[in-house]
Amino acid sequence: MKQYETQRLLLREFNPAIRERLEKKGEKEMAAFFGSNNYLELLSFQDQFLDSFIDTHRQTFRHWLLLSKEENRVIGDCGFHRWAKIHQWAEVGYGLRSLSDHNKGLMTEALKKIIEIGFQEMGLKRIEAFVETDNSASLKVIHKLGFRAEGRHRARHEQGKKDLIAFSLTRRDAPHVSESLPELVDGFERQTLPVNQWNHKAHLEVGLWYLLQHDWSPALLKMRNGIIAYNLIWGKSNTSSSGYHETLTQFWLRILESYLKKNPTDLPYSQHCDALWMSSISNVDLPLEYYSRDRLYSVKARAEWMEADLKAIK
Protein backbone atom coordinates (compact mmCIF):
# COMPACT_ATOMS: atom_id res chain seq x y z
CA MET A 1 0.00 0.00 0.00
CA LYS A 2 1.22 3.50 -0.80
CA GLN A 3 2.45 5.56 2.12
CA TYR A 4 4.05 8.94 2.68
CA GLU A 5 6.26 9.76 5.61
CA THR A 6 6.93 12.72 7.89
CA GLN A 7 9.17 12.98 10.92
CA ARG A 8 6.72 11.31 13.31
CA LEU A 9 3.99 9.95 11.06
CA LEU A 10 3.16 7.51 8.31
CA LEU A 11 0.40 8.67 5.95
CA ARG A 12 -1.44 5.63 4.54
CA GLU A 13 -3.35 6.65 1.44
CA PHE A 14 -7.06 6.02 0.98
CA ASN A 15 -8.59 6.63 -2.46
CA PRO A 16 -11.42 5.24 -4.65
CA ALA A 17 -9.37 2.25 -5.87
CA ILE A 18 -8.45 1.26 -2.31
CA ARG A 19 -12.05 1.64 -1.14
CA GLU A 20 -13.24 -0.65 -3.95
CA ARG A 21 -10.64 -3.25 -3.00
CA LEU A 22 -11.59 -3.12 0.69
CA GLU A 23 -15.28 -3.50 -0.10
CA LYS A 24 -14.55 -6.63 -2.13
CA LYS A 25 -12.14 -8.23 0.36
CA GLY A 26 -14.20 -7.67 3.46
CA GLU A 27 -13.47 -7.42 7.17
CA LYS A 28 -10.06 -9.15 7.21
CA GLU A 29 -8.64 -6.82 4.59
CA MET A 30 -10.20 -3.87 6.37
CA ALA A 31 -8.59 -4.88 9.64
CA ALA A 32 -5.16 -5.05 7.98
CA PHE A 33 -5.60 -1.67 6.30
CA PHE A 34 -7.05 0.17 9.28
CA GLY A 35 -4.75 -1.56 11.78
CA SER A 36 -7.55 -2.73 14.04
CA ASN A 37 -9.26 -5.99 14.96
CA ASN A 38 -11.71 -4.21 17.22
CA TYR A 39 -15.17 -4.79 15.75
CA LEU A 40 -16.67 -1.49 16.91
CA GLU A 41 -13.66 0.44 15.69
CA LEU A 42 -13.90 -1.29 12.30
CA LEU A 43 -17.55 -0.27 12.09
CA SER A 44 -16.47 3.29 12.80
CA PHE A 45 -13.86 3.14 10.04
CA GLN A 46 -16.41 1.69 7.65
CA ASP A 47 -18.88 4.46 8.40
CA GLN A 48 -16.24 7.18 8.04
CA PHE A 49 -14.29 5.88 5.06
CA LEU A 50 -16.27 3.32 3.06
CA ASP A 51 -19.64 5.05 3.25
CA SER A 52 -18.85 8.78 3.39
CA PHE A 53 -16.51 9.71 0.56
CA ILE A 54 -17.97 10.60 -2.85
CA ASP A 55 -16.44 9.46 -6.14
CA THR A 56 -18.14 10.69 -9.33
CA HIS A 57 -17.09 12.22 -12.65
CA ARG A 58 -17.45 15.65 -11.01
CA GLN A 59 -15.90 15.02 -7.59
CA THR A 60 -13.58 12.50 -5.99
CA PHE A 61 -11.28 12.22 -2.98
CA ARG A 62 -7.79 11.45 -1.78
CA HIS A 63 -7.30 10.92 1.94
CA TRP A 64 -4.78 9.49 4.39
CA LEU A 65 -4.81 7.58 7.65
CA LEU A 66 -2.29 8.97 10.13
CA LEU A 67 -0.17 6.39 11.92
CA SER A 68 2.22 7.14 14.75
CA LYS A 69 5.65 5.75 13.86
CA GLU A 70 6.56 5.36 17.50
CA GLU A 71 3.48 3.38 18.52
CA ASN A 72 2.41 1.95 15.13
CA ARG A 73 -1.22 2.92 15.64
CA VAL A 74 -3.81 4.98 13.77
CA ILE A 75 -4.15 8.34 15.51
CA GLY A 76 -6.35 10.16 12.99
CA ASP A 77 -6.82 11.07 9.35
CA CYS A 78 -6.49 14.00 6.97
CA GLY A 79 -6.75 14.75 3.29
CA PHE A 80 -8.98 15.96 0.51
CA HIS A 81 -12.49 14.60 1.00
CA ARG A 82 -13.70 16.73 -1.91
CA TRP A 83 -11.48 17.02 -4.98
CA ALA A 84 -12.71 18.74 -8.14
CA LYS A 85 -10.08 17.64 -10.65
CA ILE A 86 -11.40 19.72 -13.54
CA HIS A 87 -11.34 22.96 -11.57
CA GLN A 88 -8.14 22.07 -9.69
CA TRP A 89 -9.37 22.69 -6.16
CA ALA A 90 -9.94 20.47 -3.14
CA GLU A 91 -11.42 20.79 0.33
CA VAL A 92 -9.25 19.61 3.21
CA GLY A 93 -10.52 17.78 6.26
CA TYR A 94 -8.71 16.37 9.28
CA GLY A 95 -9.14 14.98 12.77
CA LEU A 96 -7.36 13.21 15.62
CA ARG A 97 -9.02 10.32 17.43
CA SER A 98 -7.71 10.91 20.94
CA LEU A 99 -7.35 14.05 23.06
CA SER A 100 -3.98 12.68 24.22
CA ASP A 101 -2.61 13.40 20.73
CA HIS A 102 -3.70 17.04 20.70
CA ASN A 103 -1.35 20.00 21.14
CA LYS A 104 1.67 18.12 19.81
CA GLY A 105 1.80 19.64 16.33
CA LEU A 106 0.95 16.29 14.72
CA MET A 107 -1.86 17.59 12.51
CA THR A 108 0.20 20.56 11.34
CA GLU A 109 2.99 18.14 10.45
CA ALA A 110 0.62 15.92 8.47
CA LEU A 111 -1.17 18.74 6.68
CA LYS A 112 2.08 20.33 5.55
CA LYS A 113 2.79 17.07 3.72
CA ILE A 114 -0.59 16.72 2.06
CA ILE A 115 -0.62 20.39 1.02
CA GLU A 116 2.72 19.75 -0.64
CA ILE A 117 1.21 16.70 -2.38
CA GLY A 118 -1.82 18.73 -3.41
CA PHE A 119 0.10 21.54 -5.07
CA GLN A 120 3.05 19.55 -6.44
CA GLU A 121 1.54 16.18 -7.40
CA MET A 122 -2.18 16.74 -7.84
CA GLY A 123 -1.93 20.03 -9.71
CA LEU A 124 -4.21 21.91 -7.29
CA LYS A 125 -4.41 25.66 -7.56
CA ARG A 126 -6.60 26.14 -4.50
CA ILE A 127 -7.22 24.34 -1.20
CA GLU A 128 -10.28 25.16 0.91
CA ALA A 129 -11.03 24.60 4.59
CA PHE A 130 -14.18 25.24 6.63
CA VAL A 131 -13.80 25.68 10.39
CA GLU A 132 -16.31 26.16 13.20
CA THR A 133 -16.03 29.57 14.80
CA ASP A 134 -15.26 28.12 18.25
CA ASN A 135 -12.72 25.51 17.13
CA SER A 136 -9.60 27.32 18.34
CA ALA A 137 -7.31 24.29 17.85
CA SER A 138 -8.27 23.97 14.20
CA LEU A 139 -7.98 27.71 13.66
CA LYS A 140 -4.46 27.57 15.05
CA VAL A 141 -3.51 24.86 12.55
CA ILE A 142 -5.08 26.77 9.66
CA HIS A 143 -3.18 29.90 10.63
CA LYS A 144 0.18 28.09 10.82
CA LEU A 145 -0.33 26.69 7.33
CA GLY A 146 -0.92 30.11 5.75
CA PHE A 147 -4.66 29.96 5.02
CA ARG A 148 -6.60 33.20 4.67
CA ALA A 149 -10.24 33.78 5.66
CA GLU A 150 -12.63 34.55 2.80
CA GLY A 151 -16.05 34.68 4.38
CA ARG A 152 -18.60 33.29 6.78
CA HIS A 153 -20.99 30.53 5.69
CA ARG A 154 -24.16 30.82 7.72
CA ALA A 155 -26.06 27.71 8.90
CA ARG A 156 -23.72 25.40 6.96
CA HIS A 157 -22.91 22.79 9.62
CA GLU A 158 -24.75 20.39 11.95
CA GLN A 159 -28.12 20.64 10.22
CA GLY A 160 -27.94 24.40 9.98
CA LYS A 161 -27.12 24.97 13.65
CA LYS A 162 -23.60 26.33 13.17
CA ASP A 163 -21.79 28.84 11.00
CA LEU A 164 -18.44 28.06 9.43
CA ILE A 165 -15.54 30.32 8.47
CA ALA A 166 -14.30 29.68 4.93
CA PHE A 167 -10.52 29.68 4.42
CA SER A 168 -8.40 29.20 1.34
CA LEU A 169 -4.79 28.58 0.42
CA THR A 170 -3.65 29.10 -3.16
CA ARG A 171 -0.52 27.88 -4.84
CA ARG A 172 1.01 31.35 -4.74
CA ASP A 173 0.36 31.54 -0.97
CA ALA A 174 2.39 28.44 -0.16
CA PRO A 175 4.71 28.26 1.57
CA HIS A 176 3.41 31.10 3.71
CA VAL A 177 6.14 33.24 5.20
CA SER A 178 5.23 35.80 7.85
CA GLU A 179 8.54 36.37 9.59
CA SER A 180 8.11 40.13 9.23
CA LEU A 181 4.81 40.15 11.14
CA PRO A 182 4.10 39.27 14.77
CA GLU A 183 1.77 36.28 14.95
CA LEU A 184 -1.05 38.38 16.42
CA VAL A 185 -0.92 40.92 13.58
CA ASP A 186 -0.64 38.18 10.98
CA GLY A 187 -3.69 36.41 12.42
CA PHE A 188 -5.65 39.67 12.48
CA GLU A 189 -4.83 40.47 8.84
CA ARG A 190 -5.71 36.98 7.59
CA GLN A 191 -8.70 36.76 9.98
CA THR A 192 -7.43 33.46 11.41
CA LEU A 193 -7.31 34.94 14.91
CA PRO A 194 -10.13 33.37 16.98
CA VAL A 195 -12.74 35.90 18.01
CA ASN A 196 -12.19 35.21 21.72
CA GLN A 197 -8.61 36.44 21.29
CA TRP A 198 -9.61 39.70 19.60
CA ASN A 199 -9.84 41.66 22.84
CA HIS A 200 -8.73 45.07 24.15
CA LYS A 201 -5.12 43.91 24.56
CA ALA A 202 -5.02 42.58 21.00
CA HIS A 203 -6.50 45.84 19.65
CA LEU A 204 -3.78 47.84 21.35
CA GLU A 205 -0.93 45.59 20.24
CA VAL A 206 -2.08 45.56 16.61
CA GLY A 207 -2.51 49.34 16.64
CA LEU A 208 0.92 49.75 18.21
CA TRP A 209 2.49 47.63 15.48
CA TYR A 210 0.92 49.71 12.73
CA LEU A 211 2.09 52.97 14.32
CA LEU A 212 5.62 51.61 14.67
CA GLN A 213 5.66 50.60 10.99
CA HIS A 214 3.64 53.38 9.34
CA ASP A 215 2.77 57.05 9.51
CA TRP A 216 -0.59 58.05 11.02
CA SER A 217 -2.78 57.91 7.90
CA PRO A 218 -1.74 54.44 6.63
CA ALA A 219 -1.79 53.10 10.20
CA LEU A 220 -5.36 54.31 10.65
CA LEU A 221 -6.37 52.94 7.25
CA LYS A 222 -4.96 49.50 8.01
CA MET A 223 -6.64 49.44 11.42
CA ARG A 224 -9.99 50.63 10.07
CA ASN A 225 -10.08 48.26 7.10
CA GLY A 226 -8.81 45.38 9.20
CA ILE A 227 -11.44 45.74 11.92
CA ILE A 228 -14.29 46.08 9.43
CA ALA A 229 -13.14 42.99 7.50
CA TYR A 230 -12.56 40.99 10.68
CA ASN A 231 -16.03 41.83 12.00
CA LEU A 232 -17.65 40.67 8.77
CA ILE A 233 -15.80 37.35 8.77
CA TRP A 234 -16.60 36.62 12.40
CA GLY A 235 -20.27 37.51 12.18
CA LYS A 236 -20.33 40.93 13.82
CA SER A 237 -22.27 43.46 11.78
CA ASN A 238 -20.89 46.96 11.22
CA THR A 239 -23.99 49.08 11.79
CA SER A 240 -25.02 52.36 13.42
CA SER A 241 -25.24 50.57 16.78
CA SER A 242 -22.61 47.81 16.67
CA GLY A 243 -19.33 46.75 15.14
CA TYR A 244 -16.75 49.23 13.87
CA HIS A 245 -16.46 52.51 15.81
CA GLU A 246 -14.47 55.28 14.12
CA THR A 247 -14.05 57.53 17.15
CA LEU A 248 -12.89 54.70 19.42
CA THR A 249 -10.46 53.46 16.77
CA GLN A 250 -8.93 56.88 16.34
CA PHE A 251 -8.98 57.53 20.08
CA TRP A 252 -6.88 54.47 20.86
CA LEU A 253 -4.47 55.16 18.00
CA ARG A 254 -4.02 58.73 19.25
CA ILE A 255 -3.38 57.45 22.78
CA LEU A 256 -0.84 54.98 21.38
CA GLU A 257 0.78 57.71 19.31
CA SER A 258 1.10 59.84 22.46
CA TYR A 259 2.62 56.87 24.29
CA LEU A 260 5.25 56.41 21.57
CA LYS A 261 6.23 60.08 21.70
CA LYS A 262 7.04 59.68 25.40
CA ASN A 263 8.93 56.38 25.06
CA PRO A 264 11.91 55.21 22.95
CA THR A 265 10.70 53.73 19.67
CA ASP A 266 13.78 51.57 19.17
CA LEU A 267 12.69 49.04 21.79
CA PRO A 268 11.75 45.55 20.54
CA TYR A 269 8.05 45.26 19.79
CA SER A 270 7.54 42.66 22.54
CA GLN A 271 8.99 45.03 25.15
CA HIS A 272 6.70 47.81 23.95
CA CYS A 273 3.72 45.47 24.39
CA ASP A 274 4.77 44.51 27.92
CA ALA A 275 5.29 48.14 28.93
CA LEU A 276 2.02 49.17 27.33
CA TRP A 277 0.06 46.65 29.33
CA MET A 278 1.59 47.91 32.57
CA SER A 279 0.54 51.49 31.82
CA SER A 280 -2.78 53.31 32.21
CA ILE A 281 -3.57 52.51 28.59
CA SER A 282 -4.51 48.99 29.66
CA ASN A 283 -7.71 50.43 31.18
CA VAL A 284 -10.47 49.58 28.71
CA ASP A 285 -12.66 52.37 30.16
CA LEU A 286 -10.07 55.08 29.48
CA PRO A 287 -12.18 56.72 26.70
CA LEU A 288 -14.80 57.70 29.32
CA GLU A 289 -12.23 59.94 30.98
CA TYR A 290 -12.22 61.99 27.77
CA TYR A 291 -15.78 61.60 26.45
CA SER A 292 -19.21 61.80 27.96
CA ARG A 293 -21.04 58.52 27.48
CA ASP A 294 -23.77 60.02 25.29
CA ARG A 295 -21.23 61.59 22.94
CA LEU A 296 -18.97 58.53 22.70
CA TYR A 297 -21.75 56.06 21.99
CA SER A 298 -23.70 58.24 19.60
CA VAL A 299 -24.35 57.16 16.01
CA LYS A 300 -22.25 60.07 14.77
CA ALA A 301 -19.22 59.06 16.87
CA ARG A 302 -19.45 55.53 15.53
CA ALA A 303 -19.54 56.80 11.94
CA GLU A 304 -16.92 59.56 12.09
CA TRP A 305 -14.23 61.08 14.27
CA MET A 306 -15.50 63.33 17.08
CA GLU A 307 -13.31 65.41 19.39
CA ALA A 308 -13.37 64.64 23.12
CA ASP A 309 -15.70 66.81 25.20
CA LEU A 310 -14.36 66.21 28.76
CA LYS A 311 -10.63 66.74 28.27
CA ALA A 312 -8.20 66.99 25.39
CA ILE A 313 -6.24 64.02 24.11
CA LYS A 314 -2.57 64.86 24.43
pTM: 0.80
Residue 91: band (very low, low, confident or very high) from pLDDT cuts 50, 70, 90: very high
Closest CA to 138 of 98, 173, 165: 165
As a whole number of angstroms, the distance between CA 145 and CA 143 comes to 5
**Beta strand pairing status for 148-157 and 162-170?**
antiparallel
Average pLDDT, rounded, for the chain: 91
As a whole number of angstroms, the distance between CA 282 and CA 10 comes to 47
As a whole number of angstroms, the distance between CA 299 and CA 302 comes to 5
Residue 177: band (very low, low, confident or very high) from pLDDT cuts 50, 70, 90: very low
- pLDDT over 60 (residue 244): yes
* Cis peptide bond N-terminal to 16, omega within 30: no
| Alpha-carbon distances, residue 216 vs 135, 180, 208, 223, 225 (angstroms) | 35, 20, 11, 11, 14
How high is the pLDDT of residue 1?
60
Q: Report yes or no: 34 and 22 within 8 Å, Cβ to Cβ.
A: no
List the domain boundaries for the chain. 192-314
Q: pLDDT tens digit string along 2-25? A: 789 999 999 999 999 999 988 888
